[in-house]
Amino acid sequence: MSSELKKVAIPRKGVDYRGKIVLAPMVRSGELPSRLLALHYGADLVWGPETVDRSMIGTTRRYNPRTKTIEWTRKPSQNHQGPPGAETKDSIIYRLHAEKEAGKLIFQIGTSNPDLAVQAARLVAADVAGIDVNAGCPKPFSTHDGMGAALLKTPDKLCAILEALVANIVPEFEIGISVKIRILETAEQTEALVRRLVATGITSLTVHCRTTPMRPRERAIRGQLRMIANVCHEAGVACVMNGDVENRDQAQQLMQEFGVDGAMIATQAEKNSSCFQAQTGGGLLPWTDVVKQYIRFALEVENKLGNTKYLLTQMIPGKSPAYRDVSACRSYTKICEMLGYDDLMDTARDVDISLDIDPDNSGKKKNNKKANTAALAAGRQTAKSRAVDSSNKKNLSQRGVQIPPEAPTSEAAAIPA
């Protein structure tokens, strides 16, 4: 077993990845309330979504006493400052819950430059349990600048990034550096890459058991997994597997079968995070239970409404009437009303007001008086005048028009990194 083999030293504030069932890094589905939900149901560690180095550099760290979160923010660009006269808020680039995620959050960085990687990691390293380099995401938003899975084609650059992080972040912050990759076309190519990566000083390597061109609907390929685990163990590095892992029980079976140290869950965790609980004799919790717990966390941290609605469309079955009802809601208050959460209504209304959302579902910002005045002066029709003009019109449901969902629910719109 791997526990009997050589182990690299775990930094004092870092984590040992062995024996861990963890939440995968996923775009949109890896935001704060989703991570809190996974931890609530038993995830041992959670990855945040890939955050690009350049987006972190230049941010300001602040504590939000209302939500008890730490936020890294920056001023929005001129193209995203809203109408003239409207109040502009800082953009939140990354945030975490210092108490609930303490010692369990891994920050995944998107980077293709060693210096930028170190600059960005240094901003967040004191608040997380590890820094993970994304060398596995195949989507253009990640690969276009040589990041993500593009790094698999530039192993010199990937190793340089890991070595820079190990040399600069580990001594100062005493946390570990890890990397997440995909398998290559042949076992020989994969083995050569893994041998180089584990020699950089990392403490863990996660392998997504698909090649770069493969999509989530294609079954994971596990034929190279034992070889990868053996190479990692020779260097004392933990090996975590990813790809078609559906629950804790299956994860433990796969860890035993292939000799890996840990397992990462993505798609199933997006749908129902109770997959992190032991399934023996019980199975997954009903989606209704999981959804209510998710909304509690979303309200607690005042999550962006659009992100919350997207996750709800992944968690609520598409054939359920609740799916259509929630998709049409434009406020937390209306979501709780539609789902019958009377005990959360007061909190939902407070959160809507805090987020400048009309609790009564109009979808308009509450504090838009200045913006409307400016628009009127410019000769444009204001939100108020549009409401008056349309007051005699029937709404969509009265006209028999079905309101489509806000976000797509097809294949893995929340992309595993």
pLDDT in tens, 104-117: 999 999 999 999 99
Q: Is 347 helix (H, G, I), strand (E, B) or coil?
A: helix
Least confident of 98-112, 152-166, 239-253, 401-415: 401-415
- pLDDT > 80? residue 148: yes
Per-residue pLDDT averaged across 143-163, rounded? 96
Sheet holding 91-96, edge to edge: 60-64, 69-74, 91-96
Q: What is the dihedral of CA 78, 83, 86, 89, to 10 degrees?
A: -40
Give residue-wise pLDDT tens across range 126-138. Answer: 999 999 999 999 9
Per the annotation, the verdict on 275 as an active-site residue is: no
Number of domains in the chain: 2
Does 159 map to a domain? yes
Task: State the pLDDT at residue 85.
Answer: 57
pLDDT surpasses 80 at 352: yes
Shared domain for 115 and 209, answered yes or no, is yes
Tell me, yes or no, whether 143 and 47 share the same domain.
yes
Amino acid making up residue 248:
R
- Residue 411 forms part of a structural domain: no
In a domain, 95, yes or no: yes
pLDDT of 4: 53
Mean pLDDT throughout 366-382? Answer: 39
Task: Look at residue 74 and tell me whether its pLDDT is greater than 80.
Answer: yes
CA dihedral 372, 378, 381, 383 (to 10 degrees): -10
Domain contains 158: yes
Which of 137, 159, 275, 336 is labelled catalytic? 137
Tell me the pLDDT tens digit for each residue of 180-193: 999 999 999 999 99
Q: Tell me whether residue 282 is in a domain.
A: no
DSSP helix/strand/coil, 241: strand
Between CA 105 and CA 96 the distance in angstroms is: 8
417 vs 414: CA distance, rounded Å: 9
Please indicate, yes or no, whether residues 268 and 356 belong to a single structural domain of this protein: no
**φ, ψ (nearest 5 deg) of residue 246:** -110, -25
Answer yes or no: do 142 and 226 share one domain: yes
Q: What percent of the chain has pLDDT over 70?
A: 83
Q: For residue 325, what are the domain limits?
A: 287-389
On whether both 220 and 298 belong to a single domain, the answer is no
Q: What is the pLDDT of residues 315-344, one digit of tens each?
A: 999 999 999 999 999 999 999 999 999 999
Query: Does residue 405 lie in a domain region?
Result: no
- 117 and 192, same structural domain? yes
Classify burial at 226, counting beta carbons within 10 Å of its beta carbon; exposed 0-12, middle 13-18, buried 19 or more: middle
Residue 397 has pLDDT above 80, yes or no: no
User: What are the φ/ψ torsions at residue 155 (nearest 5 degrees)?
Assistant: -60, -30
Same domain, 156 and 51: yes
CA contacts within 13 A on the Cβ side of 161: 29
Do residue 298 and residue 255 come from a single domain?
Answer: no
Same domain, yes or no: 84 and 233:
yes
**Which of 276, 299, 315 delimits the end of a domain?**
276
Q: What share of the chain is helix, strand, coil (3-state, %, to 5)?
A: 40, 15, 45
Angle, helices 248-258 vs 225-234, to 10°: value is 70
Asked if 124 and 233 sit in the same domain, the reply is yes
Tens-place pLDDT, residues 248-299: 999 999 999 999 999 999 999 999 999 999 887 678 999 999 999 999 999 9
Q: What is the pLDDT of residue 282?
A: 72
